[in-house]
């Protein structure tokens, strides 16, 4: 075991490539990894820190992530304190000044207006974020703004490929705007419909599609569902002609199933980010899948 470890160390030392021609980007979440891929193509190498099957609120500052941040020229993360429990530790541990602040540190939520900014900060209200709800990736309008800002940042950090980034952005914007029109048209039957969610992960989607969230399985954000709280949701869920009980791919399916059994309202697992289901291979697939899954229960 010890000799295995030592050889692993030596191997790692041997293959370390200090001089990297390509820019290296660390994306905290898969959606931003996917966006970087759209904007930069093969001009950068992307490491994605988390998967759609993980709860990004509570990731650990793992050694492998420190190594990835150490290697990065830029980090692209959600911000708004979503990663407050781990990203600051990764940056401090890695000793990588390029991404500690300045152009190498990009927060998506800082580029757009956030919803649900609390008027009072009190942990009695659960794991609230002073900068508002951080799950901005489920609003294509905000994704578009983030794309524009991110593209400018990529060009600033890597001027030699600025033309390519500009070209990719134009391309992405054209396809994204067209897709937005299509999604909005497809989602017409969803307007005004009510949903119960596991965690408040979709406020931006409801805002964009004109849907309404009437309850959450978590009694407070970040506090696991309790049976008493679930029981209190039965009446609300039944009475409002509720479309669905929505949970993310990473969340425990049991609470939503429990409520679905007692109300007849279907539980739906939405991807929430790229990789959350088979169809969500990129940002386009993420919204295709999300909308089609909601439409399926609307019928």
Partner 1 sequence: MTKTLLALALAVALGTAHAAEGVSQAQFKALEARMAQLEADAKAARADAAKARAEAEAAQAEVARLKGASTANVAAPAAPTPGGSAATSAPAAADTSDLAANDDLAVPDDTASAAAPAPVATGESNDNVASADGGGSSSNPNAFNPAISIILNGSYTHHSLDPANYIRAGFPIVGEGGPAPDGFSLGESEISFAANIDEKFYGQLTLTAASENGQDHIGVEEAFIDTTALPAGWNMRLGRFYSNIGYLNSHHAHTDNFFDRPLAYQAFLGNQYGDDGVQVRWVAPTSLFFEVGGEAFRGESYPAAGAGHGGVGTKTLFAHVGGDVGDENEWLAGVSALRTSAIGGEDGFTGDGTLYIVDGTWKWAPQGNFKDGGLTLRSEYMIDHRDGTVVDAADPSVVFDWSGKRRGAYAEAVYRINRQWDVGYRFDRLWAANDGPFASDTDPTRHTIEATWRNSEFSLFRLQLSHDKPNAVDTDNAVTVQYQTSLGAHGAHKF
> What's the chain's length in residues?
299
Helix axes 30-40, 162-186, angle to 10 degrees: 120
Q: Least distance (Å) from partner 1 to the CB of residue 258?
A: 15
Q: At 213, which helix (H) or strand (E)?
A: strand 212-216
Residues contacting residue 222 through CB under 8 Å, at least 6 positions apart:
57, 126, 127, 199
> According to the binding rule CB under 8 A, does residue 152 interact with partner 1?
yes
Using CB under 8 A, which of 159, 177, 239, 296 touches partner 1? 177
Task: Return the range that interacts with partner 1 (CB under 8 A); candidates 96-104, 195-203, 236-244, 257-265.
Answer: 96-104
> According to the binding rule CB under 8 A, does residue 111 interact with partner 1?
yes
Nearer to partner 1, 157 or 245 (CB): 157
Calpha distance 145→194 (Å, rounded)? 27
Could you give the strand order of the β-sheet that contains 23-27, starting from the edge strand earlier in sequence? 44-48, 23-27, 74-77, 105-107
Q: Least distance (Å) from partner 1 to the CB of residue 284?
A: 5
**Lookup: tokens for 158:** 């890597």
Which x/- pattern, by CB under 8 A, does the window 181-220 give for partner 1? xx-x-----------------------x------------
Q: At 157, which helix (H) or strand (E)?
A: helix 140-157
Calpha distance 257→221 (Å, rounded)? 19
Q: What are phi and psi of 213, to 5 degrees?
A: -90, 125
Q: Least distance (Å) from partner 1 to the CB of residue 134?
A: 12
Nearer to partner 1, 4 or 264 (CB): 4
Using CB under 8 A, which of 166, 212, 213, 236 touches partner 1? 166
> According to the binding rule CB under 8 A, does residue 170 interact with partner 1?
yes
Number of residues that bind partner 1 (CB under 8 A): 101
Task: Return the range that interacts with partner 1 (CB under 8 A); candidates 191-199, 221-229, 231-239, 262-270.
Answer: 221-229
Task: Return the range that interacts with partner 1 (CB under 8 A); candidates 187-195, 230-238, 257-265, 276-284.
Answer: 276-284
In Å, how far are 1, 67, 194, 217, 230 from 254, measured between CA atoms? 40, 35, 21, 11, 11
Q: What residues pair up with 77 in beta bridges, in sequence order?
A: 107
- Within 8-37, which residues bind partner 1 (CB under 8 A)? 8-9, 12-13, 15-18
Calpha distance 49→16 (Å, rounded)? 20
Using CB under 8 A, which of 232, 252, 257, 298 touches partner 1? 252
Which residue, among 70, 193, 48, 55, has the nearest Cα to 135 in the 3D structure?
55
- Within 63-92, which residues bind partner 1 (CB under 8 A)? 63-64, 66-67, 70-71, 79, 81, 84-89, 91-92
Nearer to partner 1, 95 or 192 (CB): 95
> According to the binding rule CB under 8 A, does residue 106 interact with partner 1?
yes
Q: Least distance (Å) from partner 1 to the CB of residue 85?
A: 5
């Amino acid at each position: 075991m010890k000799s295995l470890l030592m050889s692993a160390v030596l191997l790692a030392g041997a293959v370390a490539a200090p001089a990297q021609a390509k820019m290296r980007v660390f994306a905290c979440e898969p959606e931003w990894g996917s966006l970087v891929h759209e904007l930069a193509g093969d001009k950068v190498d992307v490491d994605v820190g988390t998967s759609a099957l993980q709860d990004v609120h509570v990731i650990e500052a793992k050694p492998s992530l420190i190594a990835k941040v150490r290697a990065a020229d830029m980090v692209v993360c959600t911000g708004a304190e979503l990663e407050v429990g781990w990203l600051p530790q990764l940056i401090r541990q890695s000793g990588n000044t390029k991404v500690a602040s300045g152009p190498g540190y990009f927060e998506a939520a800082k580029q757009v207006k956030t919803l649900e900014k609390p008027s009072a900060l009190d942990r009695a209200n659960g794991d609230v974020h002073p900068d508002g709800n951080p799950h901005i990736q489920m609003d294509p309008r905000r994704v578009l703004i983030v794309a524009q800002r991110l593209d400018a940042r990529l060009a600033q950090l890597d001027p030699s490929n600025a033309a390519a980034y500009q070209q990719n952005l134009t391309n992405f914007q054209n396809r994204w705007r067209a897709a937005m029109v299509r999604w909005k048209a497809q989602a017409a039957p969803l307007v005004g419909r009510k949903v119960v969610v596991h965690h408040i992960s979709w406020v931006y989607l409801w805002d964009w599609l004109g849907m309404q969230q009437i309850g959450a399985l978590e009694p407070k954000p970040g506090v696991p569902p309790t049976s008493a709280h679930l029981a209190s949701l039965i009446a609300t869920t039944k009475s409002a002609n509720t479309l669905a009980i929505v949970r993310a791919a990473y969340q425990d399916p049991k609470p939503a199933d429990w409520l679905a059994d007692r109300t007849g309202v279907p539980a739906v697992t939405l991807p929430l980010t790229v990789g959350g289901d088979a169809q969500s291979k990129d940002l386009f697939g993420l919204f295709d899948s999300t909308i089609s899954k909601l439409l399926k229960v609307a019928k």
